[in-house]
Chains A and B, each alone.
Chain A
Amino acid sequence: MKSIKEMLLETLKNGPEVLTDITACRRNGKDIITEIGRVDKKIAEYHPKMLNLEVSEIIPNGNEAKTFRLTSENGYLPPFLAGQFINLFVETDGVRTSRPYSLSSSPLQRGYYEITVARTADGFVSAYLLDKAKPGDRFEANGPAGHFYINPVFHKKKSVFIAGGSGITPFVSMIRDILESGKNRDIILLYGCRKENTALFYEELKEKVLAHPNFRFELIVSEDESFKGRKGLIDAEIIRETVQTTDAADFYICGPQVMYDFCEKELAALNTDKKRIHREVFGASKSIQTEPGWPSDLTGNEVFKIKIDGKIIPAKSGESVLAALERAGIKAPVCCRSGGCGICRVRLVSGKVFTARGVLKRYADEMFGYIHSCKCFPISDLEILL
């Protein structure tokens, strides 16, 4: 005898027809084992859990930087948008940490990725890459990720790139993408450097100007009086002169924190629509103590305790909570290291942190005490939950 459920359903209008459909599907439907591995494979085409990269070539770039050409161990690299970054993991002195690097290579080819690394004053990772890394070395990375790219759906046809120092890297990818694919866009690049010989991709940029009428390039040098070209900082005057009308363009800024602060003021002086100014997050400013709001009684050298997972680890006030975790060998998820993506989010159970600018917390994070560990600095003893 049929089940009671089936018997009752048969009495429904359209019931027998639906029950027949089900019988037919049981005979002819798709077997779930055809799904084995399919979803993971598709996701990995775009967002592999980890990129396994190998340095295939190291190319000097300017006086103080190097470009690292990275190939994939399995031969596949996911697509990215010009302007996006990868977060490269490095193990040095027994500490595993990572740094986000904008891809400087063109997204039009994915045989390799390139990142360009400049020396920074206290650069833990940059020093390692510049001094120790060699062809054949292997690195893990996550990404590509990031939201610093041209969105053709609503960004204007004219792009003004304002770059400072190694902040040129995402723009190089964008410039290559636009010029090499013949996109109908106009680019003005204002590139600020300390000295002419520290300018990255200088020859390539100069060549591109000659070959492409839709690309203009101005190098602005700040620390070399003998430089023949423009000197000083990228200020309102230079912007006005090169861009003319600011309402017909989108502005993209990438460089050190001081440059953002300066250029944003200059653009505001030109009445630039705020939503037309796009800025890449560029890590923390060199010393967190100079951030507005930093408690004046702290030097950045105080050592606090963080209680985590039953352990107590030391944490310097001038270093992020994430850095303290990494120094202690605690593996925490991480990606942009700039406060934006929230992958490194942890729960602050007790204690106080100083939060740097640019942290994009969710409403729920505020409500329930979550912090982005990459941009939060301990200013008391803490307890956190991963």
Chain B
Amino acid sequence: MKDYDVIIIGAGNGGLAAAVTLSLRGKSVAVFEKHNLPGGCGTSFRRGRFEFEVALHQLSSMGTSENPGPLRKQFREYGIENQIDWIEIRDLFRVNLPDGRGYTIPADRRKAEQSLSESFPEEKHSIHRYFDTVWRFCEEANAFAEKSAASSGEPPALKKLIMKTLFPKLYPTLAKYGLRSTQDVMDEFFKTKELQLCLSAYWCFMGMPPNRFPFSILAKCTYIYLTDKPFYLRGGSQVMSQALTETIRKNGGDVYLSDGVAEILLKDGAACGVIDEKGREFRCKKIISNISPTMTYTRLLKKNEIPFSARDYLKPYTVGISALTCFFGLDCPPEELGFTNSFTLNYDSLNANEDFLGAYSLLPEHDPIVATCYTVDDPEGSPAGTSVITAGSLKYSAPWEALPPEKYHEMKFKAADIIITRLEKQYPKLREHIEELEIATPLTHMRYLTHPGGAIYGYEQDLKSSVFFFPTESRIPNLEFASGWVNACGFGPNYMYADKVAKRIAEEADVK
């Protein structure tokens, strides 16, 4: 039996980053991971000549090496920045509309504004006003976040009243837009549906339709991707996961693969260790759970140990969306099919909110299709003359969970068939060029992530449960959370949030 300062449950992005941060500060850490690979969502798999990225589309917050963003700085501190070949992605995305027209948004604020103004000249002024608002909103949000980080605890009553009066004056844009839906804000700025779809595209990164997607997340996505540019990396996200794993080991930490945590041990109601799947007991001062709070409480504690307050606390949070994805290895280069952008969002109608309701059904008949052709920006990522595309839509797991097992494979094939048929309207002859095809359903995500609902973005990130309301708090002393379930989901946000949690834990330990 070994004792550790901190035990981390799950080698997902948050778990790995937390472990590196702690190990760099001299803390002894162990990461336990059920799967045989580290990374959680940050992984890839092989079929035939191809390697398929599972989750990463565009890495945010990187910036350039001369002008590093916060994530690059974190990787620099970890010593992994230069181990990895970073690939800057040219465009944010392309939106393909049902009339066959498509709009590409360059990854540069001025160019994006210009290109959109040319496509929608009648709304030129609104476009500029919108981008100004997004920038002001993010700057105010950053300033406010810095200010709140500096203060701790509840201020006295009088100060509270003053703050309440001052807040809308000091942070007017934040106050006006901080808790509104994307659709609401789009309607305020733009008349043209097409333009709204071009600017709201990031809803698909959080799995919320525009009428429920918090504008503040959209604004932040737009701002960070345009400021720090979207990035990919040679070899895909498994390379980052592996680099972090090796860094933990180099710093003296342990990463146990194919060895999940089976049970959290409590002493007087506080976490004090774990039992792993092999039945071994490990003691620690702190536990960081990189898995969902739901599974942490319900799977790793005995039923009578789950605090009532935790059950109550998690009530406003609904398990979020999963995905249905086809992974294509094609025997032709991207341009032969007409893929000119890596990240595309394909709509069958202009009513994204209506189409999104397809997410509750089994098959992707009308759902917007997200397609990523990695080869466009990373031509060496697959053999010469081939391309790799992942395409699919966001799906809730319920209809897939309800499926009788004997129907499963048939429905998987049917779903893929629909996706291909729909994509062929935009990219003819896609089917003819398929050399490898793998299909992942919500049940596939459930299998590999052990997340309820096969959720890929944690709890639903709607207005009432994200941004200001993430369920960050733990109801068990010495247990903390760091994952996309308790923070904005995505690679960058998870690495950075885990770093923050780990730094705080390291500091608290040092004070003691």
Contacts and interface: CB of A to CB of B under 8 A. Distances in A.
Interface stretch (A21-29, A224-232, A284-292, A300-308): A21-29
A25 B243 CA distance: 41
Interface string A54-95: 000000000000000000000000110100000000000000
Interface in B297-336: 297-299, 303, 306, 310-312, 314-318, 331
Nearest to A147: B47
19 contacts: A14-B179, A14-B180, A30-B315, A32-B293, A36-B299, A36-B303, A37-B298, A39-B446, A147-B47, A151-B437, A275-B331, A333-B36, A360-B47, A360-B48, A362-B46, A362-B238, A363-B238, A364-B239, A367-B83
A293 interface: no
A37 B241 CA distance: 29
A49 B315 CA distance: 31
Contact of B443 (A29, A42, A152): A42
B298 A153 contact: no
Nearest to A363: B235
A340 B175 CA distance: 54
Interface stretch (A2-10, A119-127, A213-221, A260-268): A2-10
Given A11-B175, A33-B311, A342-B46, A22 B316 contact: yes
Contact of A368 (B48, B242, B317, B417): B242
B295 A39 contact: yes
Interface in B12-54: 36-37, 44-48, 51
Contacts of A37: 298
A363 B51 contact: yes
Interface residues of B, number: 77
B452 interface: yes
B120 interface: no
A79 B437 contact: no
A223 interface: no
A39 B175 contact: no
A345 interface: yes
B235 A364 contact: yes
B306 A33 contact: yes
Contacts of A10: 164
B409 interface: yes
B44 A151 contact: no
Given A43-B447, A46-B447, A363-B238, A13 B175 contact: yes
Interface residues of A, number: 61
B157 interface: yes
Contact of A333 (B258, B312, B331, B413): B258
Contact of A3 (B154, B293, B406): B154
A96 interface: no
Interface of A: 1, 3-5, 7-15, 18, 21-22, 25-33, 35-40, 42-43, 45-47, 78-79, 81, 110, 147, 151-154, 274-275, 333, 340, 342-343, 345, 360-364, 367-368, 370, 386
B168 A11 contact: yes
Given A40-B299, A46-B443, A342-B36, A12 B163 contact: no
B206 to A, nearest CB: 17
Interface in B161-189: 163-164, 167-168, 174-180, 184
B155 interface: yes
B177 A13 contact: yes
Contacts of A386: 257-258
B360 interface: no
Nearest to A80: B409
Contact of B163 (A4, A343, A364): A4
Given A13-B176, A14-B180, A153 B420 contact: yes
Contacts of B464: 18, 21-22, 25
Given A15-B179, A25-B315, A274-B331, 8 more contacts: A1-B160, A9-B468, A14-B179, A31-B311, A43-B446, A345-B37, A361-B46, A367-B235
Nearest to A36: B298
Contacts of A362: 44-46, 51, 235, 238
Contacts of A5: 468
